[in-house]
A and B are shown apart, each in its own frame.
Chain A
Amino acid sequence: MKHLISIRDLTKDSAVALLDSAQRLSQVNQRSVKSLPALRGKTVVNLFYENSTRTRISFEIAAKRLSADVINFDAQSSSASKGESLRDTAQTLEALGAAAIIIRHPMSGAAHALANKGWVSASIINAGDGRHEHPTQALLDALTIRQLKMPGNDLAGIKVLIVGDIEHSRVARSNILLLSLLGATVSVAGPSTLLPEGIEAMGAKVYKSFDEALDEKPDVVMMLRVQLERMQEDDTFSTRDYIANWSLDQRRLGHLNKEAVIMHPGPMNRGLEISNQAANDPRSAVLRQVENGLAARMAVLHRALSGEDAN
């Protein structure tokens, strides 16, 4: 695996092996000296065309724990804002020695173009492209579910419910593909205007009501962030309606299984898609997700840059 652009790039076996590798690498994060020499001398560039402090920091720490040199290239405030093409920016970074480019871009398919157009020979890791995919988020989510539910190597038999703005969510898309690849049963629920046509074709069952979906007693409930900046442009969006129908509030919290896992990719809008109680609930795995983000990204960088998984 030279690139990671989409979950479609992975087979079930290679996804399980990545999770195993991430599991082993997560132990590094518990040590007092939190680093391995695996990528010493290699340069990794974070090429971010969108604001994302969390994902960028997570990739940065992951790369540093593998002893890579890390450069952060904030494309919003640099050459890209002067009109430089993605091609030219990437070629410049490669000329400066980048072995891997981690790209976050507002356009779906940007990471794909970088990996496949022959512009550069560096490894390309997709850190979120438009509404398309965010594969390392799905890997860290799968790792979290596997740790907490311990069903075995894969996620066979686990019921996952993803709730909220599916239409605009690359997290939802990558998770639907990966979790179902690993054997989980994935459902989505959200306002009809935010459920995109044909999402079933990706492997998700669709619920038009959160409560109805909760009646199926999911093992995992993943709440998506309401993108307020987007919703403010939408005249039909009502915060009050959203909370009434789609928030993981106290009442719905009471309907969850005792062993259910509550997840959220962050940053959370407390009081909107997730109530304060739910965010603070012992069943919330939000911080474990953040922690696992390091391990999952270390595993991806390890495989992409050394050609093998950690053992």
Chain B
Amino acid sequence: MIILKNLTLSDGSIQDIRIDGGLVVEMGRIIDTGTDCTDLIGLSGFVDPHTHLREPGFEASETVLSGTRAASAGGYSAICAMANTDPVADDSNLVERVYDLGVEAGLCFVQPVGAVTKGLKGLELSSIADMSTSRAKVTMFSDDGMCVHDENLMRQALLEVKKFGGVVAQHAQDPKMTVGAQMNQGAVATELGLTGWPAIAEEQIIARDAQLAQEAGSRLHICHLTTAGGVEVVRWAKSKGIQITAEVTPHHLFLTEELVRTYDPVYKVNPPLRTADDNSALLAGLVDGTIDMLGTDHAPHSGEKKDCEWENAAFGMLGLESAASILHQVLIQSGAGDWKLFEEIISKRPAKLASLDNHGSIKVGAQANITVFNPHERIAVTEMNQSKSNNSPYLGLEFIGRVQHTIYEGQFSMMNQSVRDQ
């Protein structure tokens, strides 16, 4: 049994919470003593709609166990594991395997994401229906890393997931416009002599897919939105009543393409870091609800994939362990939003996206998935290293605010900043 005392919830109320048998059993004033949470913020457990766990296939970079340890350290009680493993998670056996590895690790809920197309090849649909009825109960499908570029295949995928209320999460990147792309297109890419990734390659896929989702009457989710123009397109789509949601990563809110001037591959990510104007548009979109949620796009890479020339380096950066600290800085400390919005962005809306009914709320009778955030403590990013990889663009930086405790299924997966050992 856990009792959290004096916890400040996102609505500003101060409550004690009693957790027993995996559930929240009592809220309000509790006489018994417990874990003191005075001045700490209690939020429904964080949910990441976009994690790369690398297992099976790339265990040198991350495993389900190391990735869920990183998730616990970052306050996540549920994560959605992308399908670009080796083999690709494109049938029911493979998604069940990842699901089982998550259960075995026991630190947070691992919801596998199924591939939209077989082998992420973009040629034919994967076994979407089978995955939805498997033990892993997949409702979100994505070829993340690759764009489902064939418009007819995208339309079929939207119709297929509609049958069970699922969603297609699109990595919006026109492959023909981004051949060999290394960074955001513009003056910095020009000076650095690196092939540009134009904003239009993102925007026109979003526009196309929004129309396809409208016609199909199905759900579309846009992964890692990065451009001001992309925000405009999503805003338009929402105004038309299209069932579209969008996520933004911590790094696209916080970092800009100027960092690429160092040619340090730790800043190499796809979609690429953009401009300060894009960052502002993304934050504005997050505040006005155009962008629904934060997705980390946690992408571990082993050392040799980053300790090399820029063009030879892999795309991607770590995100799970630092996401909440960055969102705190960008949203709360800046005064742009409040804790209610914070909780929507990092927990409630992603839980709804992935149909994770046990996540995204703190209430009596519900499964106890709770994150306790300390908004006062400084954190130097060197301290965060549960991941097997260390390709964090935040190393050496300091933030104010970090996760203190993470509770998953009624147990501490992290207590006092210490992740539970198995």
Contact = CB atoms under 8 A, between A and B. Distances in A.
Interface of A: 85-87, 105, 107-110, 112-113, 116-117, 129-133, 170, 173, 196-202
Contact of A109 (B196, B304, B307, B309): B309
A167 to B, nearest CB: 8
Determine which residue in B189, B190, B304 has the highest number of CB atoms from chain A within 10 A of its CB, and name it.
B190
A170 B190 contact: no
Interface string B258-288: 0000111000000000000000000000000
- Top 6 closest A-B pairs, CB basis? A198-B187, A131-B193, A132-B193, A108-B193, A109-B263, A201-B187
A135 to B, nearest CB: 13
A110 B310 CA distance: 7
B419 interface: no
Contacts of A198: 186-191
A85 B304 contact: yes
A254 B400 CA distance: 67
Contact of B263 (A112, A170, A197): A112
A131 B262 CA distance: 16
Given A85-B304, A130-B311, A197-B186, A109 B191 contact: no
Contact of B190 (A105, A110, A113, A202): A202
Interface in B241-272: 262-264
B191 A201 contact: yes
B311 A109 contact: yes
Contact of A130 (B188, B193, B308): B193
A105 to B, nearest CB: 7
B192 interface: yes
12 contacts: A87-B307, A107-B311, A108-B311, A109-B193, A109-B310, A110-B310, A112-B310, A113-B309, A173-B193, A197-B186, A197-B190, A201-B187
Interface string B30-55: 00000000000000000000000000
Determine which residue in B185, B194, B309 has the highest number of CB atoms from chain A within 10 A of its CB, and name it.
B309
B239 interface: no
Contacts of B182: 108
Contacts of A201: 187, 190-191
Given A198-B186, A198-B187, A201-B187, A117 B194 contact: no
B312 interface: yes
A110 B193 contact: no
A196 B307 contact: no
Interface in B220-236: none
Nearest to A133: B193
A236 to B, nearest CB: 15
Nearest to B311: A107
A109 B194 contact: yes
B228 to A, nearest CB: 16
Interface string B168-211: 00000000000000100111111111101000000000000000
